[in-house]
Structure 1
Amino acid sequence: MLEEIAIENLGVIRAARVTLPAGLTVITGETGAGKTMVLTGLGLLMGGKADAGAVRPGAGGAVVEGRWQVADRPAVAQRVEEAGGEADDDGTVVVLRTVAAGGRSRAHLGGRSVPQGVLAEIADELVTVHGQTDQLRLRTASKQREALDTFAGPEHLAVVDAYRTAWSERAALQAEIDDLTARTAERAREAELLRLGLAEVERVDPKPGEDVELQAMVARLGNVESLRLAATEAHEALAGEDVESAASAVELLTRARRALEAAAGDDPALGDLGTRVAEAGYLLADVATELSAYVDDLQADPAGLEAAHTRLAELTALTRSYGETVDDVLRWASEAGLRLLDLDDGGERLRGMQERIGELDAELARLGAAVTAGRTAAGERLAAAVTAELAGLAMGGARLEVAVDPADEPGAWGADAVTFSLVPHPGAPARPLGKGASGGELSRVMLAVEVALATAAAERAEAEGAGAAAALPTFVFDEVDAGVGGRAAVEVGRRLARLARSTQVIVVTHLAQVAAFADAHLVVTKSAGDEGTVTGVREVTGDERVRELARMLSGQEDSEAARTHALELLESSSVGR
């Protein structure tokens, strides 16, 4: 329930704060006073699109704040918590929306800044708005089907959801099947190229790192003489072989070691140095031995060199096509093998998907039949309930017909075409609401449908042991009584009051017959001042309310006749509820 709404600098409203009680609240005022600005503010709280043009001229921005009771709405309370907001101790949550004159909009929920879409999410649970434009929506087949499904109840809606889930899965599978079928030739070409590449890799049979090893071998075999010369020269320098004019490095180290060892008795430090020189001598001796073995093993191998070049050429052909190195080629082969398995498995997957399509078709046929049966039964009940309501709305003899016919082809919502038709009086042909009903008739039919839906929801809530108000959102009606007058207007007010027994109802109206049924009466007034036209909102009671009803009746709030009529309306509305 919306407990309070405050508006600053929105349209002609400079500042207004109103408390909204449970039951029926009406908002009245002269034409142009700004009644709909209250609903514009409510729309912002519901996550509606912000319009900088709605900011009061000269103001830096507009602010709308609402306080919602969510203690009986666990889903909303949970969404608030998920968004980082907090409800107050009394179970209410504050929603704030600001619109800068430059067009930038911000939203806050429970003290936390949130995206605008979060407000729209919780609005679906909290409020339902019906304006004169909703009459146009009632003309569409989709909205008529939606109203019928809602009236049918949660069990029926669960079947509809199951149908939609199966339909979505089937549509996704069919799209994948179509894609697989359309790409059959392309997939075959890709598979053939992969097979050729894998066959070439298998024929060459490269080993990890083989290209690096071969390159090293080619470099060694191609430079045997220079390598032999370098190794021999180094060996001679270390070991002294074939060197007549100079001592070898090993011999020089041996001399140094002996000299240090001879003097070690006089200074132990020289003995330590001698040990280290001895270690260096051993290391050089080992290197000299290895160099000698290297020279002995280094042999020219023209055949081996040619074989290495040939093998490198084969590997280069692979790396030119499938990767920069042999390791890259092997990685490509591994991935190509998996891709080839996937391509070869396409036929099996296609058969599996086609089998699933068959299962889903059977499931859709079963669920579709259940949806049709539910709509047909609910259509009879809805038609009877609305027809009964129309009799009380000065449309005696009129009746609503709800037709559930096979659609041209099944869709995401079932296999039915739902049509609401109005028989305006006995003997007249049924006319689809979208083609033949007048604006006044649509207003009353829409209200009758809403009352029927709310009554059904309240009865279900009571049967389940839940409070009716907890099951229904706040209903907001924006001059849906347009084109209605006289006794029909009184009945509109009576039915709005009846709806308000189950939930909070807020109505913008220009009819005194409707306003007389209100539990709370708010008046939007405007006045001219130094800052231009200013609009305010205040609750009227007692004599002030009588004056407002008199103004609505005759335009003359001080007319005794109008005041008498207003008092009669108030008295009759209190008796006739």
Structure 2
Amino acid sequence: MIERLKIDDLGVISSAEVEFGPGLSVVTGETGAGKTMVVTALGLLLGARADSGRVRAGADRAVVEGDFALPEPLAARLGDRVREAGGDLDGEVLTLARILSEKGRSRAVAGGRTVPNGVLGELGEHLVSVHGQTEQLTLRQPAAQRALLDRFGGQPLARALDRYQDAYAAWKDSAATLAELTASESERHERIAQLRRALEEIAEVRPEPGEDVALANLSQRLGAHEELRQAAQLAHDALAGGDAEETPCAVDLVEQARRAVDAAASSDSTLTAHQETLADLSYRLADAAQELSGYLSDLGEAGEADIEQIEGRRARLASLRVYGETADEVLAYEERAAAELLRLENDDASLEGLAARTEELAAALAEAGAVLRAERERAAAALEEDVAVELAALAMPGARLSVQLDEPGEPGPHGTEGVRIRLQQHAGAQPQDIAKTASGGELSRVMLALEVVIGEVDPVPTFVFDEVDAGVGGRAAVEIGRRLARLARHSQVLVVTHLPQVAAWADAHINVVKATGEETGHNAPISGVERLDDAQRAAELARMLAGQDESEVALAHARELIASAREEMSSW
């Protein structure tokens, strides 16, 4: 459930913050006030495409932020995904945000951390179901029609679908392996021969980990052996002295300096620091001379190595580069090749058993598919009846929804049959594809009818309807309000509406108010958002009824609508 929505500089809304509660909340306002910006803001939080044109004129960015209260176990499931992306929940509350730059850039935030926008889309699928003119187009898609039926089928259908999908995954994997083995026997045997040759060549050379690098370094040292020896010897002699005793060296000179300062330090304590410095320097020079002596010794031993032998070994290692650029890569290839060879050599023995196993899995899949189809047939019949009642109440008395299952075909990830929802617009008419038959207004009412009946079986936390009442009025408008209120018994419902008959059913009424540029001091109108009390609700409904919020007749009618709706809801 969404608890709080904050909007800054989005469309005509300069700054607004509104708190939502459970039940039905309606959003109203005069034409052009920006009430659809509430839906737009929610869409941005749920990963909708960013449009820099939504940034309010004169602002450098728009910011939308929302707090969502998550029931268990949804909090645990979505919390794991948020933490995986680097964010976290505040208890059982998830905060999402979206920042749009006027230059076209956008940033998504989940749980306090910047995340890819796709993460908002993943989370949004579990948080909010949005229905507007664009979203209604999903009802035309076969996959969406199947998903609606499966949601209505409840736990029995969900369990049947899980069993089917497990059986499908096992059969698909086994069948794919069997096809791979039987379709390319000659290629398999050729691959076996290729792997054997490769393993024999590697075994003949037998490289060691890191051997090529070590030999390259040794070859480089041997190539510059005399230069390295001379440089190291010169450095050693400069530090510790050479064969000629009269040659001055750094160790002796520093030691002389240290002794001189030691002798003088008894007379001047300020020389103590110099004593320590010279002593440390003497030790370090002696250590460096010792290390250079060791280097010369090692260099002498390396000089005895056979350069031809080394280069010959390097050439043998280079012959294996077809399997890897380095000795380590060649050894890794050897390990993979051995594993693949073992699998391929065992395939002949397992082929017959795999074929038998695949047949068993196919039989299990067919059985699971039959159970799934039976559950869908049961759900389809019930859905048709329940939706017919809702459509009659929504000013479509002769309309019926027809849920048809195609004949079983090849197994797929969601079953062996497709699902098609058709609409019979009036008695005596033939059911037609809903994509070709229903108008936008009819699609709105069909979607509402579906969500009302499905919401009682499989509710989502929040539904958002953007002018679902477009193109209707009178008694049909009252029934739309009644159905939205019924849906709000199971889920939070937010509705953008222009009909007072719908707004009267609200538990909370949000009004988007437009101020003129003269009132705000801005060049363009700016809208604000406020939550109305009972008196303000009546005035807003009166405006919606008659265009006059101070008309006593309109006010009386508005109060009557609100009282009538409250009285009926209290009996539910």
TM score, norm. by length of structure 1: 0.70
Aligned to 1:568: 560
Summarize deviations over 1:178-222 as a string: whole Å, max 9, x none. 4445543333334345667889999xx99999xxxxxxxxxxxxx
8 Å CA contact retained: 2:202, 2:320 = no
Q: How does 1:535-550 map to 2 (within 5 A)?
A: 535-550=527-542
Q: How does 1:48-447 map to 2 (within 5 A)?
A: 48-70=48-70, 72=72, 73-75=74-76, 76-81=78-83, 83-88=85-90, 91-192=92-193, 340-447=341-448
Aligned to 1:240: none
Summarize deviations over 1:6-38 as a string: whole Å, max 9, x none. 100111111111111221110112222211111
Worse-matched range after superposition: 551-560 or 43-52: 551-560
Amino acid at match of 1:5: L
Summarize deviations over 1:306-326 as a string: whole Å, max 9, x none. xxxxxxxxx9999897689xx
TM score, norm. by length of structure 2: 0.70
8 Å CA contact retained: 1:494, 1:576 = no
CA distance in 1, matches of 2:90, 2:197: 71
Aligned to 1:215: none
8 Å CA contact retained: 1:25, 1:521 = yes
CA distance in 2, matches of 1:472, 1:30: 30
CA distance in 2, matches of 1:38, 1:107: 18
8 Å CA contact retained: 1:70, 1:77 = no
Percent of counterpart pairs with the same letter? 48
CA distance in 2, matches of 1:199, 1:532: 80
- For the residue of structure 2 that corresponds to 1:415, the secondary structure is coil
Aligned to 2:526: 534
Summarize deviations over 1:91-130 as a string: whole Å, max 9, x none. 4343222222233333333333333333333323322111
8 Å CA contact retained: 2:47, 2:124 = yes
CA distance in 2, matches of 1:365, 1:175: 17
8 Å CA contact retained: 1:390, 1:444 = yes
Aligned to 1:511: 499
Aligned to 1:274: none
Aligned to 1:25: 25
8 Å CA contact retained: 2:424, 2:430 = yes
8 Å CA contact retained: 2:188, 2:344 = yes
Compared CA separation, residues 196 and 5, structure 1 to 2 (3 A): closer
Summarize deviations over 1:401-452 as a string: whole Å, max 9, x none. 3222324533221012222233333333223322223333322221111110
Compared CA separation, residues 407 and 576, structure 1 to 2 (3 A): same
Deviation at 1:574, TM superposition (A): 2.2
Aligned to 2:511: 523
Q: How does 1:458-473 map to 2 (within 5 A)?
A: 472-473=460-461
Aligned length: 452
Compared CA separation, residues 394 and 184, structure 1 to 2 (3 A): same
Gaps of 5+ in 2: 209-312
CA distance in 1, matches of 2:336, 2:470: 70
Compared CA separation, residues 511 and 350, structure 1 to 2 (3 A): farther
- For the residue of structure 2 that corresponds to 1:18, the secondary structure is strand
Aligned to 1:484: 472
Deviation at 1:397, TM superposition (A): 3.8
Deviation at 1:365, TM superposition (A): 0.5
8 Å CA contact retained: 2:462, 2:493 = yes
Deviation at 1:374, TM superposition (A): 0.7
Aligned to 1:8: 8
8 Å CA contact retained: 1:71, 1:92 = no
CA distance in 2, matches of 1:150, 1:484: 28
8 Å CA contact retained: 1:47, 1:116 = yes
Deviation at 1:393, TM superposition (A): 1.8
Worse-matched range after superposition: 526-535 or 170-179: 170-179
Q: CA RMSD in A?
A: 3.4
Query: Higher Cα Rg: structure 1 or 2?
Result: 1
CA distance in 1, matches of 2:544, 2:377: 43
- For the residue of structure 1 that corresponds to 2:456, the secondary structure is helix
8 Å CA contact retained: 2:171, 2:365 = no
- For the residue of structure 2 that corresponds to 1:576, the secondary structure is helix
- For the residue of structure 2 that corresponds to 1:148, the secondary structure is helix
8 Å CA contact retained: 2:156, 2:375 = no
